[in-house]
Every structure is written in structure tokens, then in C-alpha cells.
Structure 1
């Protein structure tokens, strides 16, 4: 009996590596999507994104037409000497974009973002909600 939980995505990844070894490196280099939590609080939404290895100046957060977009870029410099050869590479290098559609009840002019230790926190304040009341419509 194993006490280590199995990771089905890891198993799928290994299967993909074995079945399509020539495609795998190209597929990974073109796709990067960080892990993101979206939390609803009483007066705001909070998006928390893990961006390890990304510098603060390489992160951009924009809000346009009800869509919040997070862009990040990572650059890995490899200290490589003549004769060195990379045998295996897993660390992502490139650009990623992640977008979220915001509802009508947010104050987009008051959105605040903070970046510390590879973790981005975006606070999206809610507008004061008005109670939904049913309105009777007269039929002509």
C-alpha cells in the first residue's frame, strides 16, 4: 500500500512523453498557465496567481470592457559554457496571458494589484448591490 497520492495528470504527462516524444517539448514551450485562486469576499473578489520566477516589472494587469487580463513574462538565462548541453528542460520560459470576465457589479476603477514573492494578488471591489425586486409588467 502506497501512502503517496497518485497524480493522474503526472501519469498522463508520462504517457504523452512516451507516445509523442518529438511533440512534447514544443507543446510545453508554447503553453504556460499559472495556478489561480478566485475568492469571493463580502465586498470584493480576489484573484491570487502564482507566478514563480517572474519579476514584478514583467507583470501587467489591465481591465478593459469588463475583462481583467494578467500578462507575465519569464526569462531564464542559462549559464552555459562551451561544450555544455541541456539534457532536460522543464522550467517555462516565455509569455503567458490569462483573462477573467468580470460581472457588472464591480468597481473597475478601484482595482488594486500587489505582487510579492512570486504571488500576485488582485483585489476587485464590488459595487454596492441593490436588492433585486421583481417588477410587474403590464400586458397590453
Structure 2
């Protein structure tokens, strides 16, 4: 009785057999990208891998101690025969979004560059005093 209902694995296998492995990647890789954040004495450095995108595809914002990275990409592929009729036409849209909580950042001096599919963001730290600890008596 249990085999009457297809499982997710059955769907993905049918998908792979029907469309090929490239269609499967649209579902597994969508929505995420790799990020490394390094803390130094006076700044944070963030590196995000965004291959296949251009800097125009990427939006970068820092607001309320949150760094937001979002990207949107639309692609299309048309194949026509000799008469100009479509024999294959594909379109895809991808959107990515990540957010990171980074406190005590000097917002005015944040810099970013995008080279060879890697977004590098330098986030200098503000000069702040160490928070004082207040001992609380327990009654």
C-alpha cells in the first residue's frame, strides 16, 4: 500500500530521467551562495561567491546592524530552425538573499567590490568602549 504514493525521491528520479541532470540543479542549488566572514582587529571582511552574476545583478544594504545581500538573475535561451520557428525556448529566473548581523560597523566607510564572481565587502568597526559590567545583588 505504501508504494501507491510517489515519494520525493521518485519524483526527482523521474525528473532526472525526463529532463536530464541540468534541470535537477535548478532545484538543488537555488537560493543559496557561499559566504566567508573574517574578523580582524579593525574590520570584518566578507567574501561571497556569486559566479555567473554581474555587479548589476547584486544589491547590498546595511541597515540596523544587518548586512543584506540579494541578487536577481534572469536568463533565456532560444533555438530556432532555418525558417525562424522556435524548436526550443527556455527562460529562468534566480533570486538569492542572505542576511548577516554585524554590530558596531562604521557605516560611512563600508566598501565593496565584485571581481571574477566574488563579492568582497570590507566593514570597518566603530571605535567603542567596552561595555561595563554591573554586578547585581541577589536578595
Into which bin does the TM-score normalised by the smaller protein fall? 0.5 to 0.7
For structure 2, list consecutive stretches of 5 or more residues without a partner in the other structure.
1-6, 16-22, 81-85
Question: 2:87 is matched with which residue?
Answer: 83
Secondary structure of the residue that 1:28 maps to in structure 2? helix
Structure 1 stretches of at least 4 aligned residues deviating more than 6 Å after TM superposition: none
Does structure 2 retain, via aligned residues, the 8 Å contact 1:61–1:70?
yes
For 1:93 and 1:29, the matched residues in 2 are separated by: 14
Higher strand proportion (structure 1 or 2)? 2
**TM-score, length basis structure 2:** 0.67
**TM-score, length basis structure 1:** 0.67
CA RMSD after TM alignment: 3.3
Which shifted more, 29-38 or 62-71? 29-38
For 1:50 and 1:106, the matched residues in 2 are separated by: 22
For 1:18 and 1:118, the matched residues in 2 are separated by: 33
For structure 1, list consecutive stretches of 5 or more residues without a partner in the other structure.
1-15, 87-91
